[in-house]
Amino acid sequence: MNRSACHDAATGNEPGSPEVRCEFRDFDEEQIELLIELMLDILQRHPRIDPVDIVAHSDIAPDRRLDPGPKFPWRRLYEHGIGAWYDDDTVDRYRQRFEAQPPTLALLQRGLRAYGYDVDDTGENDPRTQVALRAFQMHFRPSDWSGGPDAETAAIVFALLEKYRPRALTRLLNPSL
């Protein structure tokens, strides 16, 4: 069993607060192997489950839940045919674009919303945006899950939209269509 924990005794913030500090531990190899076996069985019985619908507690309720955390092997699951993951070349293309001209925070918020995160298009780095970004980063960029907007996070959002939600991406980039 994974014994990850979050602590914020000083401020009393809820686990989903952007200020909370967590320690995440590695998952047991046997546990991950059993999860892969179980998920493959479920997907075989229910082939219409969309890859983007395989999510974590933190993806659904980022203001309340942080599990399974950044050490969960999402890419490994994807390599076994479970869940969604981005293509590195597509991320590189968007990263170059966004490093040259970053997207507005409002556009990034709309991208997160189009992918499935419950974020409002405020154009402000409000707590709701921060916890959604943190959840997204724990899932898709576990090396940095600060909850801050940046070119790499935006590149991953747009690469995932291009791969799994191309119509939403088209509407996002061309609102007049």
The 10s digit of each residue's pLDDT in 126-166 is 999 999 999 999 999 999 998 999 999 999 999 999 999 99
Domain 5-173 is classified in which CATH homologous superfamily? Answer: PGBD-like superfamily/PGBD (1.10.101.10)
Question: In sequence order, what are the residues at sequence separation of 6 or more whose Cβ sits closer than 8 angstroms to the Cβ of residue 155?
Answer: 91, 92, 93, 94, 95, 97, 98
Taking the C-alpha atoms of residue 86 and residue 80, their distance in angstroms, rounded to an integer, is 14
* Residue spans per domain, the chain: 5-173
Q: What value does the mean pLDDT take over residues 87-107?
A: 97
